[in-house]
Every structure is written in structure tokens, then in C-alpha cells.
Chains A and B, each alone.
Chain A
Amino acid sequence: MIAALANPHRFMAFSRWAAPILGALAAILICAGLALGFAAPPDYQQGETVRIMFIHVPAAWAAMIAYGCLGIASFSYLVFRHALADAAAKAAAPLGAAFTLMALVTGSFWGRPMWGAWWVWDARLTSVLALFLLFVGYIALRAAIDDEAKAARAAAILALVGLINLPIIKFSVDWWNTLHQGESIFRAGGPTLAPVYLAPLALAGFGYIAAFASLWLVRTRAEVWRRRSANLALQAATR
């Protein structure tokens, strides 16, 4: 299916109906997830603030999936030289950064009542911060190179280097967290999940992923249009 989508015309036709449908699906799933989440009983430890989990955790998942998509698109661009793959990569990065930022901010709000501090250096938040820096680096690199083709390739190489490093970074941060466990006041990985929270979390999770997919399709379409119009403008100017 991916190979079929690589054709720009087919992609544009596909995304035309796929994006709104995914968007609607995302809205439904997120609303359902949040409704269930608010209907669920408050956590015995965290009280009402546990609800932020349904906003924070799926955002972190979406952020990681976004980087995975960035990596796959970059790999496709480097190996198959598809311009569409590069457009998709370029479109995914700011989206990923936004989801990561959302995860960081909501994580901070979630942590405040629980841990008494606006920021804690636990495994998940630190990993998400590292992910945020990876996105920022990618976006900065693309913006700093004037030649679009060179920018695309350089950024693709960086994305792959980041993708390979990502599990290592995650592992090292988790490992670092367990190492300094004795000094922290909270358990690694956050509180264990009561089953009553699983359903809303899963719903919200799928909803966020659908939202990412929808927004990604929209941004990629916009990038394709931008390139087409730039191309036309150049051709008109040099005629």
C-alpha cells in the first residue's frame, strides 16, 4: 500500500478523503476517551489530577510514533529518492515537536500536584525532553540549509542517526532513572495503571494517533502544493 501511495497523484487523491475521515475518527476517539476518563473514579493517590494522564500519555505516544514516521520517511527518501517521502518527513517534524511539547507541558502540570515540583527528572519526562531536542535539531537543520535538495538529504541522514539513537537514549534514561532510584520520591515509570483507566487511555491513545495521521496527511498535502507552486513560479519566471 505504501508503494502505491508513493505516486504523488494517488497520494493526493487518497489523502483527500483519508485526512478528514481520520480527523473525525480522532475527534470521536478522543472525546470518548476523555469522557470515559472523567467518568472513571479518581485515583486513591492522585485524586482528580489523574485525569491529566489521558491527555499527557497519549501525547507522548503520538510524539514517539511521529519520530518513527519521520525516520521511515527519511529512510524512504534516502533509499528510493521519492520527493513525496521528503515532503512527508518535512511535514512530520513540526507535528512531532508539537505533540512532544504538549506531552512536556501536560506532564509538568500532572507532576505538580503529585510530586510538588513543576518539573521532575523522571524517566518518561526526560526521554520526552530528549525527543523534543531531536525534533528541534531536525527542524533547525532543515531551516539552516538553503539548498532544498541538500537540506532534505542532510536532514534525512540526521533523522536516521536520531532513530538509531532513540532506543539507546530511551534505554540510557531508563537505566539512569533506576540507578538513582533511591533518591527519588516516586516510583520509576509512574504509578501502576488500574484497569479502569486502561480503556479511556487506549481510546485516547488511538485518538491521538488518528489525529497525528490526519494532521500529517494534511501537512504533507500542503507541502506538496507548496513545492508545486514554487516550481510553477520558477518556470514562469525563467520563461
Chain B
Amino acid sequence: MTTAGLLFRRELALAWGGGGGPLMALAFLAAVTAALPLTAGPSPAGLAGVAGGATFVSLALSSLLSLDRLFERDLEDGSLELLALGPLPLEGVAAVKCAAQWTATGAPLALAAPIAAVALGAPILAAPIIAAVSALGGLAFAFVGGAGAAVALASRRGGVLIAVIVLPLLIPPMIFGGAAIWAFTEKLPWTTSFALLAAYSLAALGLAPFAMAAACKNALS
């Protein structure tokens, strides 16, 4: 097993361990989805128009949840230093952590998102596009979110700080993903939006690890 694979399996086990990682995120998604009709009224016409967008927003917020656990725990118990003294450079460690985060919470959320959207009144035919957009968007949320989590590491005050830092950076994937869903449901061309989302996620995948590694080294110094 490669070292990356070793770390990936450990991160996955840790995410699913203490308190069922994906279950918490899914419960949060359900709660936030329910908040919309509770606050704005349950009229189907009103909800259907924003179903796709609201689901995507809830998805973004749900992925912010476990961000402060990404590096903070390792910094607290000394694991981050040991990871830095391993065969994988810190950029690789960061990338594997975000990939594991996405697999543990982002992917289950992407599967649950169509259900939430349909519950809000989105057409069932939109389910595949919602799942695909949520999966790709979730990748961007995990990596850009990871950059925010790493930068906020030295503060030991994660949570809301990370959200404040990360949310403006998530505007492009939110726009592209939301546009893809909206265009699909309006029977308009959606492939450009989807391609832009894919481009953004791949760029985040490639570039964020460098920011994360630099920020982790800063926190370790």
C-alpha cells in the first residue's frame, strides 16, 4: 500500500469513527433543508423555484462543518508534526486529507442532495445533475475549505472563522454549480456552467494543497 493510500485509509477511518462523520453532515443537510419551508412557507410553487439553489447552499454549509477537524486535531495531539516527518511531503498530506474528507462527507452529501432538492420540489429528472454538481462542487468545497482551515490553524479558533474566510472564496463554485442546476431545470443549456465548475474544482485540487502546506508549516513553526 502506498503511503498516500495508508494515510487516506486512516483519515477515512478517523472521519467515520468518533460520532459518524457522514451521518452528522447528512443530519445537518436535512435540518437546513427543512429550515427553508419552515421559514418561507411550504407553498410548492415558491419552493420549487429555489429548490436546486437552496440545496446547493445547504451542501456548502454542511461541508464547512467538519473543516475545523481537518488539521486542528492533528496539530493539538502532535500528529501533524509526525505527518510532516513522513515520506509524503506536506502538500501530499494535505491533498490526501481533503480527498478523504470529500470521500467521507462530500460524497454522501452529493448522494443525499438530490433527495433534499426533490423534497423541496425540484423535478425528479434533475436528480442526476444535482448529484453530479454536488459531487464536483463538494470537491471544490473540500479543497478550498481545507485551505481556509489550514490558514486558520494557528488561531486555534476554527469554526466560524473558517466559514468567514472560506465563504467568499466559494462564490465561483456556488455560482457555477447553481447555474448548472438552474439551467437544467429551466431546459436551458447547462454544459458551460458544468464545465466551469469542473475547471474550478480541478484548479482547486491542484493549487490548494500548496497553500495548505504553507499554512501548516506556519502553524508548526
Residue in B closest to A129 when the chains form the complex, CB atoms: B168
Residue in B closest to A131 when the chains form the complex, CB atoms: B168
Within 8 A of B (CB), among A122-156: 130, 133-134, 136-137, 140-141, 144-147, 149-151, 153-155
For residue B117, CB closer than 8 A to chain A, the reply is no
Residue in A closest to B165 when the chains form the complex, CB atoms: A137
Residue in B closest to A151 when the chains form the complex, CB atoms: B154
For residue B93, CB closer than 8 A to chain A, the reply is no
For residue A162, CB closer than 8 A to chain B, the reply is yes
**Interface size counted on chain B using CB atoms at 8 A:** 31
Measured between alpha carbons, how far is A155 from B214 in the docked complex, in Å?
A: 11
Are A154 and B215 interface neighbours, CB within 8 A? yes
- Contact code string B162-201 (vs A, CB < 8 Å = 1, else 0): 0011111101100110010001000000000100100010
Are A168 and B200 interface neighbours, CB within 8 A? yes
For residue A158, CB closer than 8 A to chain B, the reply is yes
Chain A residues with CB below 8 A from B196, complex form: 172, 175
Chain A residues with CB below 8 A from B161, complex form: 140-141, 144
Within 8 A of A (CB), among B128-166: 147-148, 151-155, 157, 161, 164-166
Are B211 and A157 interface neighbours, CB within 8 A? yes
Chain A residues with CB below 8 A from B219, complex form: 150, 154
For residue A161, CB closer than 8 A to chain B, the reply is yes
Are B151 and A169 interface neighbours, CB within 8 A? no
Chain B residues with CB below 8 A from A2, complex form: none
Measured between alpha carbons, how far is A176 from B218 in the docked complex, in Å?
A: 36
Are B165 and A150 interface neighbours, CB within 8 A? no
Q: Which residue of A134, A140, A165, A171 has the most chain B CB atoms within 10 A of its CB atom?
A: A165
Residue in B closest to A144 when the chains form the complex, CB atoms: B155
Within 8 A of B (CB), among A44-73: none
Q: How many CB-defined contacts (below 8 Å) exist between A and B?
A: 88
Closest chain A CB from B68 CB (angstroms): 12
Chain A residues with CB below 8 A from B166, complex form: 137
Are B179 and A133 interface neighbours, CB within 8 A? no
Closest chain B CB from A114 CB (angstroms): 24
Measured between alpha carbons, how far is A155 from B193 in the docked complex, in Å?
A: 31
Are B215 and A145 interface neighbours, CB within 8 A? no
Measured between alpha carbons, how far is A166 from B175 in the docked complex, in Å?
A: 14
Give the interface of A toward B (CB within 8 A): 78, 130, 133-134, 136-137, 140-141, 144-147, 149-151, 153-155, 157-158, 160-162, 164-165, 168-169, 171-173, 175-176, 179
Give the interface of B toward A (CB within 8 A): 147-148, 151-155, 157, 161, 164-169, 171-172, 175-176, 179, 183, 193, 196, 200, 207, 211, 214-215, 218-219, 221
Enumerate 20 A-B pairs (CB-CB under 8 Å) in ascending A order. Answer: A133-B164, A136-B164, A137-B166, A140-B164, A141-B165, A144-B161, A146-B155, A147-B154, A154-B152, A157-B151, A158-B151, A169-B169, A169-B172, A171-B172, A172-B172, A172-B175, A173-B171, A175-B175, A175-B196, A176-B179
